[in-house]
């Protein structure tokens, strides 16, 4: 047994791709949410620092030249509140040395590079967000720097918790997505599985009567695939049944003359005969051999038409000239049987085709009509050009055909009167060959007949 690796299984690949795309979508979505939340937290910290810096600037002593907070105001209380909130305030001189600070959590050992705006400092105790602002004296000159700092420990803890939560939920959601994807894949690929099992069953048993008969809730692509597979099996079964009947009929048609030949030879050789008897036997054998040759030629032509091997050279043909020439070939047989052959052919009946095929087609139709028309009867050939097509009719005044035989008239080896047709030298393939030739030219052929009113065969070719 041929074991396939998991990744060679279509169901596995569908679930894997579905889970991968779902995972990437969740990563992108969670990453976007994480970054937006991080930006929001930092924005809140920055706004808090700006407010604290404005409040601290108001507490600077503007009446002295020394850069310091005014001790007469509520600076100590404010400093205590800011320290409890995790906010620290630093006053730097113009050269960057620390003049005064409130808070003992950050404890900057080395002053940072002073520049107006926001910065993020990473120190041993964690990350801090700072806001630095110039301090301008009353004379308009810069007297130092004011820096307000706030610990990012709370924000980092919140972001870490959010990241951890997203990371933990990812395998859970991927598991749910995988289970859902597996359920959907199993449901979607059910017709494919049934087609695979049915194909294997047909391959092993050779039973073409097996069908899927899939009845889905929706008319999707896979449901149509199952329906088309059943229709393909119908077509294959019909084709094989057709070939089986054709093989059986061909075997029967070949066995009949061979049996007759064998019987005549055995009778003739059973005892000594006069020369006239041998001549008569050889003449009868010659007739049977001729019939076998005609049958073999017809079978070969049908086989080539079925396999589309007998392509022939297509050229522009005037059906009026071709039908006139074909009628001239059949005229001696009509005269021998005292049958009137009438032609009514319109001009300009040009189509693309092979002369050999078309001559064989109309010879078969005319020969069949003449052979089934009694003496003093008539066979009429008409051809007219209609809109987009050429119509050819071959009518006779024979005994006609009953309605139950008409649907089978173009089947191979089908004879309305089996013994009479075989006695006339027919192989039972003439109309079948005619139909195959017409179909090669995308045309149509149909028979119309009633008992006692003759038969008409109509052929239509697209122009």
- Is residue 393's pLDDT more than 90? yes
How far is the C-alpha of 94 from the C-alpha of 99, rounded, in Å? 10
In order, the DSSP letters of 356-380 are HHHHHHHHHHHHHHHHTS-TT-EEE
Residue 37: predicted pLDDT: 92
Question: Considering the chain, what percentage of its residues have pLDDT values greater than 90?
Answer: 14
Asked if residue 224 and residue 325 are part of one domain, the reply reads: no
Using alpha carbons, select from 53, 132, 144 the residue that is nearest to residue 92: 144
Does residue 202 fall inside a structural domain?
Answer: yes
Q: Which residues, listed in sequence order, are joined to residue 117 by a DSSP beta bridge? A: 132
60-109 per-position pLDDT tens digit:
765 545 556 655 555 566 666 666 667 888 888 887 777 777 776 666 65
For residue 404, what is the domain's CATH number? 3.30.565.10
Asked if residue 154 and residue 43 are part of one domain, the reply reads: yes
Asked if residue 245 and residue 146 are part of one domain, the reply reads: no
Residue 395: predicted pLDDT: 93
H helices then E strands: how many in the chain?
Answer: 10, 12
Residue 81: predicted pLDDT: 64
Domain that holds residue 326: 312-462
The CA distances from residue 266 to 274, 276, 292, in Å, are 15, 17, 19
Burial of 448 (0-12, 13-18, 19+ CB in 10 A): middle
281-311 per-position pLDDT tens digit:
888 888 878 777 877 777 777 777 766 655 5
Asked if residue 34 and residue 159 are part of one domain, the reply reads: yes
Contact present, 67 and 84 (Cβ < 8 Å) = no
Looking at 260, 275, 310, which one is the last position of a domain? 310
Contact present, 320 and 346 (Cβ < 8 Å) = yes
Asked if residue 344 and residue 257 are part of one domain, the reply reads: no
Asked if residue 216 and residue 228 are part of one domain, the reply reads: yes
Does residue 178 fall inside a structural domain?
Answer: no
354-366 per-position pLDDT tens digit:
888 888 889 889 9
Does residue 269 fall inside a structural domain?
Answer: yes
Residue 308: predicted pLDDT: 65
- Is residue 224's pLDDT more than 90? no
How far is the C-alpha of 351 from the C-alpha of 440, rounded, in Å? 13
- Is residue 6's pLDDT more than 60? no
Does residue 174 fall inside a structural domain?
Answer: no
Task: Decide which of 341 and 189 is more confident.
Answer: 341
- Is residue 323's pLDDT more than 60? yes
Q: Output the average pLDDT for the chain.
A: 80
Structure tokens at 32: 């976007």
Asked if residue 340 and residue 423 are part of one domain, the reply reads: yes
116-138 per-position pLDDT tens digit:
889 888 877 788 888 988 887 76
Asked if residue 325 and residue 251 are part of one domain, the reply reads: no
Contact present, 456 and 410 (Cβ < 8 Å) = no
Contacts of 255-259 with C-beta under 8 Å, sequence gap 24+, read 256/422, 257/288, 257/291, 257/292, 257/295, 258/292
* 3-state secondary structure at position 137: coil
Contact present, 461 and 351 (Cβ < 8 Å) = yes
Question: Considering the chain, what percentage of its residues have pLDDT values greater than 70?
Answer: 83
Number of domains into which the chain is organized: 3
How far is the C-alpha of 238 from the C-alpha of 232, rounded, in Å? 10
Task: Decide which of 293 and 338 is more confident.
Answer: 338
Does residue 212 fall inside a structural domain?
Answer: yes
Asked if residue 154 and residue 290 are part of one domain, the reply reads: no
Residue 419: predicted pLDDT: 45
Q: What H or E segment, with its residue span, contains residue 390?
A: strand 389-396
Looking at 290, 310, 330, which one is the last position of a domain? 310
> For 134-146, what is the mean pLDDT?
78
Instruction: Rank 98-112, 167-181, 310-324, 338-352 by mean pLDDT and report only the highest.
Output: 338-352
> For 43-51, what is the mean pLDDT?
90
For residue 300, what is the domain's CATH number? 1.10.287.130
Asked if residue 51 and residue 155 are part of one domain, the reply reads: yes
Looking at residue 407, the DSSP 8-state letter turns out to be G
Contact present, 98 and 110 (Cβ < 8 Å) = no
Asked if residue 319 and residue 266 are part of one domain, the reply reads: no
Q: Are strands 340-345 and 378-386 parallel, antiparallel or unpaired?
A: parallel
Does residue 179 fall inside a structural domain?
Answer: no
Does residue 187 fall inside a structural domain?
Answer: no
Does residue 421 fall inside a structural domain?
Answer: yes
- Is residue 420's pLDDT more than 50? no
Residue 302: predicted pLDDT: 72
How far is the C-alpha of 129 from the C-alpha of 122, rounded, in Å? 9
78-87, 155-164, 397-406, range with the lowest pLDDT: 78-87
Residue 64: predicted pLDDT: 46
For residue 94, what is the domain's CATH number? 3.30.450.20
CA 429, 433, 435: angle at the middle one, nearest 5?
120
Looking at 169, 188, 216, which one is the last position of a domain? 169
Asked if residue 140 and residue 21 are part of one domain, the reply reads: yes
């Amino acid at each position: 047994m041929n074991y396939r690796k998991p990744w060679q299984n279509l169901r596995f690949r569908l679930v894997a791709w579905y889970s991968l795309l779902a995972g990437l979508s969740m990563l992108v979505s969670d990453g976007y949410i994480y970054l937006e939340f991080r930006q929001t937290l930092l924005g809140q910290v920055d706004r808090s620092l700006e407010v604290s810096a404005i409040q601290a600037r108001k507490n600077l002593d503007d009446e002295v030249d020394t850069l310091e907070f005014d001790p007469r105001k509520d600076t100590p209380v404010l400093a205590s509140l800011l320290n409890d909130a995790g906010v620290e305030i630093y006053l730097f001189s113009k050269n960057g040395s620390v003049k005064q600070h409130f808070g003992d959590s950050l404890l900057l050992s080395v002053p940072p590079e002073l520049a107006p705006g926001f910065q993020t400092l990473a120190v041993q105790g964690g990350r801090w967000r700072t806001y630095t602002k110039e301090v301008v004296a009353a004379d308009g000159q810069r007297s130092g720097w004011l820096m307000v700092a706030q610990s990012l420990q709370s924000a980092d803890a919140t972001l870490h918790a959010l990241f951890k939560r997203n990371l933990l939920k990812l395998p859970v959601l991927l598991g749910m997505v995988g289970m859902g994807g597996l359920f959907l894949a199993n449901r979607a690929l059910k017709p494919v599985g049934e087609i695979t099992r049915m194909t294997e069953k047909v391959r092993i048993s050779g039973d073409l009567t097996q069908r899927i008969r899939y009845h889905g809730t929706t008319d999707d692509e896979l449901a149509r695939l199952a329906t088309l597979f059943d229709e393909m099996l119908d077509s294959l079964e019909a084709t094989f049944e057709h070939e089986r009947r054709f093989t059986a009929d061909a075997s029967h048609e070949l066995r009949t003359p061979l049996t007759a030949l064998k019987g005549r030879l055995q009778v003739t050789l059973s005892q000594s005969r006069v020369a006239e008897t041998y001549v008569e036997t050889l003449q009868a054998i010659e007739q049977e051999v001729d019939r076998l040759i005609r049958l073999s030629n017809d079978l070969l032509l049908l086989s080539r038409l079925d396999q589309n091997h007998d392509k022939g050279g297509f050229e522009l043909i005037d059906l009026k000239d071709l039908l006139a020439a074909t009628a001239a070939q059949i005229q001696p047989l009509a005269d021998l049987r005292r049958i009137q052959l009438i032609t009514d052919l319109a001009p300009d009946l040009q189509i693309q085709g092979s002369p050999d095929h078309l001559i064989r087609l109309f010879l078969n139709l005319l020969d069949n009509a003449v052979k089934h028309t009694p003496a003093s009867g008539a066979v009429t050939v008409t051809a007219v050009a209609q809109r987009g097509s050429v119509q050819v009719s071959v009518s006779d005044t024979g005994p006609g055909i009953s309605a139950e035989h008409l649907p089978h008239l173009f089947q191979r080896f089908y004879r309305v009167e089996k013994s009479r047709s075989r006695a006339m030298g027919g192989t039972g393939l003439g109309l079948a060959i005619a139909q195959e030739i017409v179909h090669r030219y995308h045309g149509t052929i149909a028979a119309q007949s009633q008992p006692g009113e003759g038969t008409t065969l109509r052929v239509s070719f697209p122009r």
